[in-house]
């Protein structure tokens, strides 16, 4: 069901409470090392301030723990980053629903922006607490969800806050709109062949995605460490590779269910230690010697996967093929990324590691869409719907 967007509502002189996903990586000194999530929220942010709205931004950052020193999870660096990108001052509240937040929200002028401190500094956020939500809801005349990366969560700011704001406009932002459009359309009416490439360490993270995509895609290509669990399921030898022993039965089921659609690596690049300068060899999949561990798909697999991508009409990629941050075990991920960049297919890159890989390799602008959501894009590929979006106003 299409939703009302921020463009559809009148914001001049109004306080717009916008949930964004400013859960960005920070370095030791507290500097934002990848500002993509902030940049991707700019269209919605500008839409409000350019029309004279008063913007209150709220987000979480990381997973702070109650009772510990959580200063490294402050949203201040993200607020500074936003100020730089906007070229205008951005006010920052040192709490989320306390005195400083109330004061800074009260001081907002038309076209002004305040960022509230990390929502997860309050236990009520993860608990979906109604009192906490009611305090946040007080700040806004309208609610906007532009936090695609968090849309699979039911945290207070995502669900209880818009619930508490019933009767006021509750809309999606441009980023949420765009992400859902790409991912939903790819799944609903893909140009075929539709090829999914799934990597990463654990089968357990990707079971539901593999199951769902096997019913939609023409081919599902498997890489990353989860390939070794599949190898075990086929009776292969995996040496010291990372595997999930307790997921072997499940891997067998997926192999049976997938038939010829589920494509596993035929060779493996392995090493005798988890380091760039270990002793290396390329072996047949399922023949990893003792003392060695699989660290990447082999060159034959990389070639085969690249050919399948070249022939595809739609490609969805989530999860690296190997240890891409540790050359030469980046070769498989690099080959897949290159073939996606070269192809004319509609190409969608899941967030998290695959988004980082595509950016690091310099291909980000040669694909159709790079998602800002890791878990959220996986949830969409699993066919889940989002309560945080469903409850917003229909268009
Ligand atoms: C993410 O980066 O996955 C989102 O910001 C959600 O964060 P979470 O996984 O800690 O809920
Ligand atoms: Mg996550």
350-372 tens-digit pLDDT: 978 888 889 888 998 999 999 99
Ligand 1 binding pocket mutation candidate from 19, 20, 21, 350 (most atoms within 8 A of CB): 21
Ligand 1 binding pocket mutation candidate from 59, 153, 157 (most atoms within 8 A of CB): 153
Q: How far is ligand 2, taken at its centre, from the CA of residue 376, in Å?
A: 8
Find out whether the beta carbon of 328 lies less than 6 Å from any atom of ligand 1.
no
- Which ligand is the nearest neighbour of the Cα of 157? 1
Q: What residues contact residue 246 under an 8 Å CB cut-off, 6+ apart?
A: none
- Which ligand is the nearest neighbour of the Cα of 61? 1
Find out whether the beta carbon of 179 lies less than 6 Å from any atom of ligand 1.
no
> In the numeric block, which tokens belong to residue 27?
């370095």
Find out whether the beta carbon of 301 lies less than 6 Å from any atom of ligand 1.
no
Nearest C-alpha neighbor of 386 from the set 190, 63, 206, 155: 155
Find out whether the beta carbon of 149 lies less than 6 Å from any atom of ligand 1.
yes
Q: Which atom of ligand 1 is nearest to the CA of 153?
A: 11
The pLDDT value recorded for residue 226 is 96
Q: Rounded mean pLDDT of 14-41?
A: 96
Find out whether the beta carbon of 104 lies less than 6 Å from any atom of ligand 1.
no
The pLDDT value recorded for residue 360 is 86
> In the numeric block, which tokens belong to residue 292?
């060695």
Find out whether the beta carbon of 63 lies less than 6 Å from any atom of ligand 1.
yes
Ligand 1 binding pocket mutation candidate from 147, 150, 205, 371 (most atoms within 8 A of CB): 150
**pLDDT > 70: what percent of the chain?**
100
Beta bridge partners of residue 314, listed in sequence order: 194, 346
273-328 tens-digit pLDDT: 999 999 999 999 999 999 999 999 999 999 999 999 999 999 999 999 999 999 99
| Long-range CB contacts (within 8 A, 24+) of 202-205 | 202/226, 202/244, 202/247, 203/229, 203/230, 203/244, 203/247, 203/250, 203/251, 203/254, 204/244, 204/247, 205/378
**pLDDT > 90: what percent of the chain?**
93
**pLDDT for 51 beyond 90:** yes
79-129 tens-digit pLDDT: 999 999 999 999 999 999 999 999 999 999 999 999 999 999 999 999 999
Q: Rounded mean pLDDT of 215-239?
A: 97
Q: How far is ligand 1, taken at its centre, from the CA of residue 349, in Å?
A: 17
Q: How far is ligand 1, taken at its centre, from the CA of residue 388, in Å?
A: 14
Nearest C-alpha neighbor of 144 from the set 388, 374, 370, 395: 388
Q: Rounded mean pLDDT of 239-248?
A: 96
Q: What angle do CA 362, 364, 368 make, to 5 degrees?
A: 150
The pLDDT value recorded for residue 170 is 98
- Which ligand is the nearest neighbour of the Cα of 205? 2
pLDDT tier at 201 (50, 70, 90 boundaries)? confident
Q: How far is ligand 2, taken at its centre, from the CA of residue 60, in Å?
A: 11
Pick the range with the lowest mean pLDDT from 30-34, 92-96, 182-186: 182-186
Q: What share of residues in the chain are helix, strand, coil (percent, to 5)?
A: 40, 20, 40
The pLDDT value recorded for residue 185 is 87
Pick the range with the lowest mean pLDDT from 14-23, 204-213, 285-294: 204-213
Find out whether the beta carbon of 153 lies less than 6 Å from any atom of ligand 1.
yes
Pick the range with the lowest mean pLDDT from 164-178, 193-207, 212-226: 193-207
Strands in 267-271's sheet, in edge-to-edge order, are 280-284, 267-271, 293-297
Q: How far is ligand 1, taken at its centre, from the CA of residue 257, in Å?
A: 31
Phi, psi of 170 (to 5 degrees): -135, 110
Find out whether the beta carbon of 177 lies less than 6 Å from any atom of ligand 1.
no
Q: Specify whether the CB–CB gap between 195 and 219 falls below 8 A.
A: yes
The pLDDT value recorded for residue 353 is 84
**pLDDT for 180 beyond 90:** yes
Instruction: Give the span between the Cα atoms of 211 and 107, in whole angstroms.
Output: 51
Q: Which residues are catalytic?
A: 37, 202, 352, 375
Q: Which atom of ligand 1 is nearest to the CA of 375?
A: 3
Q: How far is ligand 1, taken at its centre, from the CA of residue 386, in Å?
A: 14
User: What number of residues does the chain have?
Assistant: 395
């Amino acid at each position: 069901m299409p939703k009302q967007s921020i463009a559809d509502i009148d914001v001049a002189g109004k306080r717009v409470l916008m949930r964004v996903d400013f859960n960005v990586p920070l370095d030791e000194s507290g500097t934002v090392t990848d500002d993509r999530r902030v940049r991707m929220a700019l269209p919605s942010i500008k839409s409000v301030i350019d029309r004279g709205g008063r913007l209150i931004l709220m987000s979480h950052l990381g997973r702070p723990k109650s009772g510990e020193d959580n200063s490294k999870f402050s949203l201040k660096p993200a607020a500074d980053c936003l100020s730089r990108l906007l070229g205008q001052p951005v006010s920052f509240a040192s709490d989320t629903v306390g005195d400083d937040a109330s004061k800074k929200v009260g001081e907002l002028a038309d076209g002004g922006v305040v960022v509230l401190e990390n929502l997860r500094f309050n236990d009520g956020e993860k608990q979906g607490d109604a009192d906490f939500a009611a305090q946040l809801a007080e700040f806004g005349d309208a609610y906007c969800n532009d936090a695609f990366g968090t849309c699979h969560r039911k945290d207070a700011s995502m669900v209880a806050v818009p619930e508490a704001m019933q009767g006021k406009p509750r809309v999606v932002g441009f980023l949420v709109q765009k992400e859902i459009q790409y991912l939903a359309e790819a799944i609903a009416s893909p140009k075929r062949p539709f090829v999914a490439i799934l990597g990463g360490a654990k089968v357990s993270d990707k079971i539901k995605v593999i199951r769902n995509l096997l019913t939609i895609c023409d081919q599902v290509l498997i890489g990353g460490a989860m390939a070794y669990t599949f190898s075990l399921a086929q009776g292969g030898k995996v040496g010291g590779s990372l595997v999930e022993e307790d997921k072997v039965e499940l891997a067998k089921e997926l192999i049976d269910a997938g038939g010829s659609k589920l494509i596993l690596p035929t060779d493996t690049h392995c090493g005798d230690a988890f380091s760039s300068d270990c002793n290396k060899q390329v072996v047949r999949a399922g023949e990893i010697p003792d003392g060695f561990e699989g660290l990447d798909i082999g060159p034959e697999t990389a070639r085969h996967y690249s050919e399948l991508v070249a022939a595809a009409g739609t490609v969805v990629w989530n999860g690296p093929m190997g240890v891409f941050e540790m050359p030469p075990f980046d070769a498989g991920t690099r080959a897949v990324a290159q073939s996606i960049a070269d192809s004319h297919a509609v190409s969608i890159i899941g967030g998290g590691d695959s988004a980082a890989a595509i950016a690091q390799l310099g291909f980000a602008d040669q694909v159709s869409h790079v998602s800002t959501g890791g878990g959220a894009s996986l949830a969409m590929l699993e066919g889940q719907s989002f309560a945080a979006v469903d409850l917003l106003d229909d268009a």
